[in-house]
Amino acid sequence: MLNLVLFGPPGAGKGTQSQKLIDQYQLIHLSTGDLLRGEITQGTELGIEAKKLMDQGFLVPDEVVIGMISNKLDANKDARGFIFDGFPRTVAQAEALDNLLASKGESISSMIALEVDDDELEHRLLLRGKESGRPDDANPEVIRKRIHEYNNKTAPVAQFYKVQNKFKSINGIGSIDEIFHSICAIVDLCK
Ligand code: B4P
């Protein structure tokens, strides 16, 4: 099974590249951001609580996102593999993912980190905020809070995969196709 973690700060292009990767490798896309926005749209209790945090740029509690991923893994037992997009975002989430996969005799194949500087991230997210009206993209203060959360809580996840020799870093600035080709070059070595 091919199990990829797509990693990087908010706006690095994880969602954008995931869409192309699922077509290329026939993987199941698991985006915790999309799953949470789905809960918000449905107006579930989980969604109402998550929205309060997401709109301020905070992460949602670990147990909530780990539970969502666990359910999705169980629901896709015949998958050829998964792209984890925006998950794990804390070391506790990374440990939980390893345990969930190990219980199925699986593991992460590679973690691919998209490197993009803060000015470019802010520019991309504000642009998307204008086009999509996504509340967490509309306000520069919230965007900076998200980048701060990333530096504090998410960046240490890279070390977790470096220790396992699964960490690969690529330049996330350039055309979407150029970046896609760099990712595919790494993924093709994992197959
Ligand atoms: P996510 O939905 O994961 O969103 P993201 O990190 O903001 O975006 P991504 O990196 O996918 O950017 P994209 O490709 O869309 O998270 C949202 C929130 O949900 C979090 O802040 C948190 O509150 C919560 N959450 C999610 N997962 C969680 C977890 N595991 N634990 C706790 N909380 C969690 O690209 C952004 C923009 O850039 C797009 O407009 C795109 O068109 C553009 N773009 C992409 N590539 C480009 C390129 N090469 N050049 C120019 N523009 C580009």
Give the pLDDT score at 133: 87
The closest residue, in CA terms, to atom 36 on ligand 1 is: 11
Looking at per-residue pLDDT, the higher value among 133 and 31 belongs to 31
Sign of CA dihedral 24, 25, 26, 31: negative
Contacts of 136 (CB under 8 A, 6+ apart): 54, 55, 57, 142, 143, 146
Q: What per-residue confidence (pLDDT) applies to 191?
A: 79
State the chain's mean pLDDT as an integer: 97
- Enumerate the H helices of 80-139 as residue ranges: 91-102, 118-132
pLDDT tens, position by position, 8-36: 999 999 999 999 999 999 999 999 999 99
DSSP line for 146-180: HHHHIIIIITTHHHHHHHTT-EEEEE--S-HHHHH
- The confidence score (pLDDT) of residue 68 equals 98
Q: How confident is the model at residue 87 (pLDDT cuts 50, 70, 90)?
A: very high
Calculate mean pLDDT across residues 149-168: 98
Q: How many CA atoms lie within 13 A of 60 on its CB side?
A: 26
Q: Which of 25, 24, 6, 26 is nearest to 34 (CA)?
A: 6
Q: Report how far ligand 1's centroid is from the alpha carbon of 79 (Å).
A: 24
Q: What is the ipTM of this complex?
A: 0.88
Identify the pLDDT of residue 184: 97
> pLDDT per residue over 103-116, tens digit each?
999 999 999 999 99
Catalogue all structural domains in the chain, each as residue range(s) with its CATH number. Answer: 2-190 (3.40.50.300)
**Cα 17 from Cα 4, distance rounded (Å):** 12
Residue with tokens 């994880």: 14
Q: In 3-state terms, what secondary structure has residue 88? A: coil
**Cβ-based neighbours of 107, under 8 Å, separated by 6 or more:** 3, 98, 101
144 is in an annotated binding site: no
Q: Which residues lie with the beta carbon below 6 Å from any ligand 1 atom?
A: 8, 10-16, 32-33, 36, 53-54, 59-60, 65, 86-87, 89, 93, 124, 128, 136, 146, 176, 179
Percent share of the chain, pLDDT over 70? 100
The confidence score (pLDDT) of residue 111 equals 98
Question: Can you give the pLDDT at residue 108?
Answer: 98
How many CB atoms within 10 Å of residue 2?
18
Between CA 27 and CA 60 the distance in angstroms is 25
pLDDT of residue 154: 98
Give the mean model confidence (pLDDT) for residues 144-155: 97
How do residues 56-86 score in pLDDT, each as one tens digit?
A: 999 999 999 999 999 999 999 999 999 999 9
Residue nearest atom 5 of ligand 1, based on CA coordinates: 10
Helix (H, G, I), strand (E, B), or coil: what is residue 84?
strand
